[in-house]
Amino acid sequence: MAVVITPAPAHPRAFSWLRDLYDRAAAARADRALRSAVMRDLFDANPRDLRDLGISTCDFDSIANGSFRR
């Protein structure tokens, strides 16, 4: 009787570091796109509306970062 030995398939997590790197890069790109959209909307806003909301241009960075507090 002959015994057939098949090699084990490659470890499915062998390239997990590459997938993780891609996922982190995609998340960073999405964060940059969201921040860019927020900044664009803030700079396009009417100064009178911003004044009514109590927001000045020096607050734009903290608003885009999500750390703005009144």
DSSP string across 4-26: --PPPPPPTTTTHHHHHHHHHHH
**8-17, 35-44, 52-61 — which is least confidently predicted?**
8-17
> Whole-structure pTM over 0.85, yes or no?
no
Task: For residue range 27-55, list pLDDT tens digits in order.
Answer: 999 999 999 999 999 999 999 999 999 99
Place of tokens 């969201």: 34
